Structure 1
């Protein structure tokens, strides 16, 4: 029995230099801000910090079509006008623009989630974090909702090599449609998405009646919500449903997408503490003392979130939650402190917007979900075959690698970045650039 969770944290400084373009709501600067808040609270000293490998095209093609991956690799802002048919076919354009270093960005965030899954598979950590990941809308052959490569699907595919059942939880304000679609016909992945639902709200899917098909029937759980849901309503519903799913499904690993666009100021009215309470609750399923199931591994990613200061606050608090570390409300000095001025506090007040989720509505949704879960007789089993090899494991000797053995400490240490890369004085991008 372990006394303390081993946590792997993935970050590449280059993600903060990526720019979707003027007036685009996706501001990747939020990742640098998150990382420097993590540094300022000394959280990196309690984790193993890794720079992820850049996923190879062959790895991305484990889910995405080869022609789509190839097009992402060769297209750039100067040549996109030469390929109008492909741009339309692969849904690149206004929401998903072509920008400088786009493919490298995809390689980095996908590589982080794949590496996180592999470390969990090889029992090198108990929890893995990749805040750059969580781009849940990308489809097999097309970009969607600011997402080009679906790192979550790729990570889950890795986890399925070692685990009979993977549970995916999504608390982004938008439906996790890309992940659900990828596993809609299998019982080996249970997807659970809490999201705003409406025909005019992107992506327009996620009705409670969408439950999977064929072998996947009843293994897609959707919790459609209305504007303004607050901490109390959300966390009560979340805990009730997740507890029941875990009890029935008994996953070996949980993947948690922590989209921060469900915070106050967007369509929902969650506080950072309310959002983080969901992370805290999921983390409890990793405790060996829990009697419902044996301990599970947890992979945590980012997702949506367009008020970059609040995204950074949220994911830093949640990093602390995963480390069982309570963070002082006053933000320590760091390279991005001006973004949190004038109050420089970690918590933010919730907005006072009307909650359109009545008790009767939430009660009905809960009853419908529990009824769906009653249709599952027991946790599905699978005859595990020989585990296929990983396409890439950094610095491992392929002739000596044994997936059943833990890597020695010296080899692990070679993957950990030097402390000097992670201190506040590190000039990892142009801090004067104002992404509005």
Structure 2
């Protein structure tokens, strides 16, 4: 039987908005979908497109407190001004708008559906681009995130007796997911991100390794600003892949924010689309059933290009380096000038690369000394 891949999507994504001046633009999902379509990636025989459902409250309450959910639902019922800073709601970062709760449930439902497609329908992999809100806590919105879809979906997988590895490649540390599973050995969380020393959410340091039964199952690889694709790939090959292989999960869940890219307005890393394709190839090569979700990314065209290449790599469908000609009017309407689907190769300046390499070597050495022995791993090989 041929492998099948599931894309979870809904035209309803476009019905919501964080506000004209908020850095998170909901229309990036529509742009991504349109670019996938122009690249011929939505009609291949090995894929199925599934409408994004809404998560029910029972699923949400596996992680989120009922009082928080009740407040979120109440604030979302009308266009009045609402705020509750105890719950992180109503500030500039996490605005409240009519329909917000429906939007959050829709996004979370997509991630649950992706997990369902992989577990119940045996899809080789599933991608829910609207997921990946890794900063939400049990009773507090944070970092544009209101519902932590990855935690909710992983909890559903745990109820089925699955062991899970969660890998987060967003430029920001996946703090909400780490917090949820910090004391368990049934989920290993791995996050590659920009160093939290002076960068939101100011967490994800290398010595955050879990507690109790979870000691050694929380892995952080913080990168200094201006880390490029070569630094990312080393972190991946030296730490991420050996740990996945050693842990032997039943399900792989990955958060693939596109804000690691060098032209993202909110971050200081220097990645390109090449790293997204590299990561996708490596995840596929593990042979583990794979649930992929989106995440950050505040340059809309970057997001569309990166996730289109992710989907193309996932389903094994080749695409050209250039953007399709019939997509170029959309590029012009965004005020962009790029004609490329794939970024050209980019290297950080020698001084920046040297600093990034030294920091990465120190980080990897710490993990190889402190964590690898717990999983019978040696530096440089199993």
TM-score for the superposition, normalised by structure 1: 0.79
SS of residue in 2 equivalent to 1:89: coil
- Equivalent residue number for residue 262 of structure 1: 260
SS of residue in 1 equivalent to 2:185: coil
**Is structure 2 residue 333 aligned with structure 1 residue 336?**
no
- Equivalent residue number for residue 104 of structure 1: 102
Say which structure, 1 or 2, has more relative contact order (CA 8 Å, 6+ apart): 1
> Which consecutive residues of structure 1, in runs of 5 or more, have no partner in the other structure?
287-295, 380-436
Q: Does structure 2 conserve the Cα–Cα contact (< 8 Å) formed by 1:134 and 1:152?
A: yes
SS of residue in 2 equivalent to 1:355: helix
Q: Does structure 2 conserve the Cα–Cα contact (< 8 Å) formed by 1:118 and 1:158?
A: no
Shift of 1:200: 2.4
- For 2:95 and 2:73, the matched residues in 1 are separated by 14
Q: Does structure 1 conserve the Cα–Cα contact (< 8 Å) formed by 2:170 and 2:256?
A: yes
- Equivalent residue number for residue 380 of structure 2: none
1:389-404 residue pairs with structure 2 within 5 A? none
- For 2:107 and 2:196, the matched residues in 1 are separated by 29
- Equivalent residue number for residue 235 of structure 2: 237
SS of residue in 2 equivalent to 1:45: coil
- Equivalent residue number for residue 296 of structure 2: 304
1:32-431 residue pairs with structure 2 within 5 A? 32-46=30-44, 47-76=47-76, 78-81=79-82, 84=83, 87-92=84-89, 93-265=91-263, 266-286=267-287, 296-332=288-324, 333-334=326-327, 336-338=330-332, 339=334, 342-349=337-344, 350=346, 354-355=352-353, 357-377=355-375
Shift of 1:126: 1.4
RMSD of aligned residue pairs (Cα, Å): 2.0
Range with greater deviation from structure 2 (333-342 or 97-106) = 333-342
- For 2:42 and 2:192, the matched residues in 1 are separated by 30
Shift of 1:169: 0.3
- For 1:195 and 1:164, the matched residues in 2 are separated by 26
Relative to structure 1, the CA distance from residue 192 to residue 299 in structure 2 (aligned partners, 3 Å threshold; closer, same or farther) is: same
SS of residue in 2 equivalent to 1:191: strand
For residues 397-418 of structure 1, the C-alpha deviation after alignment (integer angstroms, 9 at most, x for no partner) is xxxxxxxxxxxxxxxxxxxxxx
Equivalent pairs, count? 364
Shift of 1:119: 1.9
Relative to structure 1, the CA distance from residue 343 to residue 223 in structure 2 (aligned partners, 3 Å threshold; closer, same or farther) is: closer
Range with greater deviation from structure 2 (303-312 or 230-239) = 230-239
For residues 379-403 of structure 1, the C-alpha deviation after alignment (integer angstroms, 9 at most, x for no partner) is 9xxxxxxxxxxxxxxxxxxxxxxxx
For residues 175-214 of structure 1, the C-alpha deviation after alignment (integer angstroms, 9 at most, x for no partner) is 0000000000100000000011133210011110000001
TM-score for the superposition, normalised by structure 2: 0.90
- For 1:207 and 1:62, the matched residues in 2 are separated by 27
SS of residue in 1 equivalent to 2:370: helix
Q: Does structure 1 conserve the Cα–Cα contact (< 8 Å) formed by 2:7 and 2:127?
A: yes
Q: Does structure 1 conserve the Cα–Cα contact (< 8 Å) formed by 2:225 and 2:356?
A: no
Shift of 1:363: 1.5
Q: Does structure 2 conserve the Cα–Cα contact (< 8 Å) formed by 1:227 and 1:357?
A: no
Range with greater deviation from structure 2 (70-79 or 307-316) = 70-79
Relative to structure 1, the CA distance from residue 179 to residue 356 in structure 2 (aligned partners, 3 Å threshold; closer, same or farther) is: farther
Relative to structure 1, the CA distance from residue 378 to residue 154 in structure 2 (aligned partners, 3 Å threshold; closer, same or farther) is: farther
Q: Does structure 1 conserve the Cα–Cα contact (< 8 Å) formed by 2:221 and 2:363?
A: yes
SS of residue in 2 equivalent to 1:91: coil
- Equivalent residue number for residue 7 of structure 1: 5
- For 2:121 and 2:160, the matched residues in 1 are separated by 10
SS of residue in 2 equivalent to 1:44: coil
For residues 311-359 of structure 1, the C-alpha deviation after alignment (integer angstroms, 9 at most, x for no partner) is 1000001100101122112222147343485443212344856336443
Structure with greater Cα Rg: 1
Shift of 1:41: 1.3
